[in-house]
Amino acid sequence: MPQSSTSLAEHEATSVAYGPLEIAYDSRVLTPRDWTRQQSTWAADLMQDLPDGPILELCSGAGHIGLLAAHLSGRRAVLVDMEPTACHYARLNAETAGLGEFVEVRLARADAALRPDERFACVMVDPPWVPTSEIDRFPEDPRLAIDGGEDGLDVIRDLLHVVAPALLPHGVALVQLGTSAQVEQLHTWLDTPDSPSLTITEVRVHGDRGVVALLEQA
């Protein structure tokens, strides 16, 4: 539940507890969903055995998922979102968490955000995954944050082409989707010749709220 609110010029800034972090946001970005902390804690658990290297979060919104992973793991992080308000809050939330020196927020499309030589131990992705025909079910959510195209997978298919070359050897990706059926579809696509060299090795289903898939280098 929102814990406090402050009036800004046109939008109401609200903050919510996200585990140990305090996350500010407003209606121009997706409201942080508490269950997604499980993507952060899974990442932190995995990172105990991953090579040294930073975290990358694509589609970070207000930054909470990547920030909590950075807080728990002690690793540096790069957070990327193409929406200016999301990046404003991600920077603010990093400062509030005491992570300002360890987290870089980049306002960019994911496919233009990285230098060619950058590599990451863990890439976290929370793409828009709602099929276009269903976005009217979520009238409060910004379209850019949720519209995943015809089958909900348009954005993640594009982003996995960014993720695969950005992984360190033995690095992993944790990708959030909406349903197990979408994970199956992604799995099928990853078997096709022009798809990135990644394979889904574990899936955690969080009721009807969402699914997180672990992807490793194929």
Interaction between residue 109 and ligand SAM (CB under 6 A): yes
CB-based contacts of 211: which residues, under 8 Å, 6+ apart?
A: 176, 177, 178, 179, 180, 182, 183, 203, 204, 205
- Report d(CA 72, CA 77) in Å as an integer: 12
Interaction between residue 110 and ligand SAM (CB under 6 A): yes
Query: CB of 173 within 8 A of CB of 163?
Result: yes
Interaction between residue 60 and ligand SAM (CB under 6 A): yes
**Neighbour-count burial for 59-81, b at 16+ CB within 10 Å, e otherwise:** bbbbbbbbbbbbbbbebebbbbb
Query: CB of 129 within 8 A of CB of 155?
Result: yes
Closer to ligand SAM by CB, 53 or 63: give it. 63
> Least separation, in Å, of the C-beta of 61 and ligand SAM?
3
> Least separation, in Å, of the C-beta of 169 and ligand SAM?
25
- Report d(CA 30, CA 100) in Å as an integer: 22
Q: Say how many CA atoms lie within 13 Å of 41 toward its Cβ.
A: 9
Which span sits near ligand SAM by CB under 6 A: 53-61, 97-105, 179-187, 210-218?
A: 53-61
Site map 136..165 versus ligand SAM, x via CB under 6 A = --------xxx--------x----------
Interaction between residue 36 and ligand SAM (CB under 6 A): yes
Interaction between residue 80 and ligand SAM (CB under 6 A): yes
Interaction between residue 59 and ligand SAM (CB under 6 A): yes
Closer to ligand SAM by CB, 124 or 167: give it. 124
- Report d(CA 73, CA 43) in Å as an integer: 8
Instruction: Tell me which residues touch ligand SAM (CB under 6 A).
Output: 29-30, 32-33, 36, 59-61, 65, 80-83, 86, 109-110, 126-128, 144-146, 155
